[in-house]
Amino acid sequence: MSQQVIGNDVDRALEILRNGGLVGLPTETVYGLAADASQKKAVAKIFAAKGRPNSHPLIVHVASIEEARNLCSLWPHSAELLGSTYWPGPLSVVVNKAPEVLVEVTGGHQTVALRVPGHSMAIELLTRFKGGLAAPSANKFGKVSPTTAQHVLDDLGTSVDYILDGGPCDVGLESTIVDCSADTPVVLRPGGISAEDIQKIVALGSDELGMSRAPGMLPAHYAPNCELTLLEEFSEAIRMRESSETSTQRVIDASIDPLGFASSMYAQLRQCDADQIEKLFVILPQPIGIGLAIRDRLTKAAHGSKNQSH
Ligand code: AMP
Ligand code: MG
């Protein structure tokens, strides 16, 4: 009678969510750990499964811009412009929350982060669910994000009731977060939509777009077990490799094809751990386009990796 934990049964996922359970949700960014955003007990299960502090706000996923408008008390012009341009897609907007949005979801804030994900299975689920799904990345707190259904199972095991398998994530990096609740929108986290593309639609209030500073984003995050060293030039990697005594080393050049690298970045970090790599050297892409988000995630991953902990 035991049922498969990974599958493509949207009916089953819906039933679990309505009953307050947790579902692994495929999106174009990374896999989410989804619960009904209107059920306190279900939301509490997300924090318990991830080992995530309750003060770290969750992004609420909805099926359409109309549903996003329903979850906020004031829908700013900037959110309308960004949502109508980039949704469904890897962009979250922070807006003032509607009274019915639980503070358990928003980490106690009066604002809520909203996103319409660009993945057909997620949209089908959300459209039939007819409500918001709170969904942070489906990994243990501080660890590498999941980009396949199997990654979710590896990380969360039996604490997730069912995992919808939507294949490997296309973008592979978390969404760009834009705070639209203030007069001038600000990028809180670089991500799948580049700052340059955001600036084509709205004027941004800050030029410090390089590193994420949304609440709950810590300097150490997305961390593999291996020692991660970030380099600007390939020649530096050659020098460091030669001067280092261990044999279990790997060099990855993220500067050649940043978009392609982004989609497989978390899988490659996981593979390094599976292969028991001790030292990983990554050559960084330029800080433009998706390169900004890659540098943000890898800088945090390096902070959390072995070389920073002792
Ligand atoms: P993740 O756990 O990777 O899904 O990331 C969720 C991100 O969204 C975290 O960095 C949160 O800090 C951010 N976030 C969620 N809600 C808000 C909010 N109301 N204001 C600012 N950032 C938010
Ligand atoms: Mg995360």
Residue ranges, CATH 3.90.870.10, the chain = 6-199
Residue whose Cα lies nearest atom 22 of ligand 1: it is: 214
C-beta 148 within 6 A of ligand 1? no
Cα distances (angstroms) measured from residue 16 to each of 5, 44, 229, 253, 300: 12, 15, 42, 42, 34
**CA 93 / ligand 1 centre spacing (Å):** 10
* Euclidean distance between CA atoms 102 and 300, whole angstroms: 29
- Among 69, 76, 150, residue whose Cα is nearest residue 114: 69
pLDDT at 306: 65
- In a 10 Å sphere around its CB, with 0-12 CB exposed, 13-18 middle and 19+ buried, how is residue 100 labelled? exposed
C-beta 136 within 6 A of ligand 1? yes
**Ramachandran quadrant class, 44 (left: phi over 0; alpha: psi -120 to 50; beta: rest):** alpha
Rounded to two decimals, the pTM is: 0.94
Residue whose Cα lies nearest atom 21 of ligand 1: it is: 214
Question: CATH homologous superfamily for 6-199?
Answer: DHBP synthase (3.90.870.10)
**CA 211 / ligand 1 centre spacing (Å):** 14
**CA 61 / ligand 2 centre spacing (Å):** 14
C-beta 164 within 6 A of ligand 1? no
C-beta 93 within 6 A of ligand 1? no
C-beta 298 within 6 A of ligand 1? no
Under a CB-based contact definition with an 8 Å cutoff, are residues 227 and 306 in contact?
Answer: yes
C-beta 139 within 6 A of ligand 1? no
- In a 10 Å sphere around its CB, with 0-12 CB exposed, 13-18 middle and 19+ buried, how is residue 83 labelled? buried
Atom number, ligand 1, closest to the C-alpha of residue 216: 12
* Euclidean distance between CA atoms 175 and 178, whole angstroms: 9
Under a CB-based contact definition with an 8 Å cutoff, are residues 294 and 173 in contact?
Answer: yes
pLDDT at 309: 40
C-beta 188 within 6 A of ligand 1? yes
**CA 145 / ligand 2 centre spacing (Å):** 6
C-beta 142 within 6 A of ligand 1? no
Residue whose Cα lies nearest atom 4 of ligand 1: it is: 136
Structure tokens at 304: 């959390």
**CA 258 / ligand 2 centre spacing (Å):** 20
Residue whose Cα lies nearest atom 2 of ligand 1: it is: 136
CA angle 224, 226, 227 (to 5 degrees): 110
* Euclidean distance between CA atoms 270 and 225, whole angstroms: 9
pLDDT at 310: 34
Structure tokens at 262: 């982004």
Query: Each residue's pLDDT tens digit in the chain (310 positions)?
Result: 457 899 999 999 999 999 999 999 999 999 999 999 999 999 999 999 999 999 999 999 999 999 999 999 999 999 999 999 999 999 999 999 999 999 999 999 999 999 999 999 999 999 999 999 999 999 999 999 999 999 999 999 999 999 999 999 999 999 999 999 988 999 999 999 999 999 999 988 865 666 777 766 777 888 899 999 999 988 887 777 766 666 689 999 999 999 999 999 999 999 999 999 999 999 999 999 999 999 999 999 998 876 544 3
